Amino acid sequence: MKQFFTALLLLGALSFSPVSGAQQAQDFGDYVVHYNALNTNLLPPQVAKAYGIQRSSNRALLNVTVLKKVMGSPGTPVSAAITATGTNLTGQIRDIQIRKIEESEGAIYYLGELPVHNLETYRFDIVINIEDEDEPLQVKFRQQFYTE
């Protein structure tokens, strides 16, 4: 599935209203973390099948990519240990199982799925441990999901 990451970023940028979060990034000096969350039914069926993702309006996909800044390029993908949780507004915490995807072209991204309900809002907390770095990177964001 060449270009899955690029397609997912474009899907995130083009398919959502501004309130849904779309593609987001956070700069950490030497690194940039790109992240987004979207309903899995928005993925093309062939992409979902290739990556073992269950397509459903009631399931969300968390996508995280870590890039090391390299002058004159969009960055180099970085391998990391990533943990993530999602907490809804009633305080229910979901540990999100993150799996690493490595493409033959060198792209590395991390995917996790969780169930969602219509108008449910999650606060995501993502902790990224990069080898040979002293401090983990931490990303927090909020996303509301629409299933109907």
Name residue 20's amino acid: S
Q: Are 61 and 15 in contact (CB under 8 A)?
A: no
Question: What CATH code would you report for 4-144?
Answer: 2.60.40.3340
DSSP conformation letters of 22-44 = -SEEEE-SSEEEEEEEEEGGGS-
Percent residues over pLDDT 90 in the chain: 77
Bridge partner list, 139: 126
- SS3 state at 107: coil
Q: Where are the domains of the chain?
A: 4-144
> Model confidence over 53-105: pLDDT tens digits?
999 999 999 999 999 999 988 899 999 999 999 999 999 999 999 999 999 88
User: pTM (2 decimals)?
Assistant: 0.85
Query: Could you tell me whether strands 76-77 and 31-39 are parallel, antiparallel, or unpaired per DSSP bridges?
Result: unpaired
